[in-house]
Amino acid sequence: MQIIANGDIKDLNSFQKILETNCEGVLIGRAALENPLIFNELKSGKDISNNLSGTNLFDRKNQILEFLEIANEYNLDLGKVKSNLAYMTRSVIRASKFREGINNSKSIEEIVILLNKMK
C-alpha cells in the first residue's frame, strides 16, 4: 500500500519532516496559494519562504491577475475565488484593504478593477 501525505506542508522544513515518515509522496494544497514559490523551494532544497515575509500586494499582482483570468475563463464560483484570494494574500503586507474589497465584490471583473486601483 502506498501512503501519500497531505496537509500542513507549507515550507521546506515541514516537507522534510513528512518525508521522514517514509511516505511515497506528498500533496500540496493551500500552501501553494499562500506561497506560490513553494515548489521551487522544495525542488531546490533551499528555504525561500523566509524571503517572502516582506511581500506586498504589488509583488503578487501578476500572480493574482493570472489566477483571476483563469477563474474567469473557467467560470469558477465567485465564493471559491474569494476564498482562494484570501489565502493568496494572507501573508502579504497591506493587503487587508484589498481583502475587504474582495468581500464586497460581486464579480471577478470588479476584483480585477479593485486590484488595478491598489498601490
Q: Looking at the structure, do residues 29 and 67 belong to the same domain, yes or no?
A: no
Give 4's DSSP letter: E
Q: Looking at the structure, do residues 46 and 61 belong to the same domain, yes or no?
A: no
The predicted structure's pLDDT at residue 56: 82
Q: How many domains does the chain have?
A: 2
Q: Looking at the structure, do residues 66 and 102 belong to the same domain, yes or no?
A: yes
| pLDDT tens across the length of the chain (119 residues) | 899 999 888 888 999 999 999 999 999 988 888 877 788 888 888 876 665 556 788 888 988 999 999 999 999 999 999 999 998 888 788 889 999 999 999 999 999 999 999 87
The predicted structure's pLDDT at residue 93: 85
pTM flag (> 0.85): no
- 37: exposed, middle or buried (C-beta count within 10 Å: 0-12, 13-18, 19+)? middle
* Pair 15, 48: CB distance under 8 Å: no
The predicted structure's pLDDT at residue 49: 61
- How far apart, in whole angstroms, are the C-alpha atoms of residue 102 and residue 110? 8
CA 6, 7, 9, 10 torsion: positive or negative?
Answer: positive
Backbone phi, psi, residue 101, to 5°: -65, -35
Range of the domain at 48: 4-52
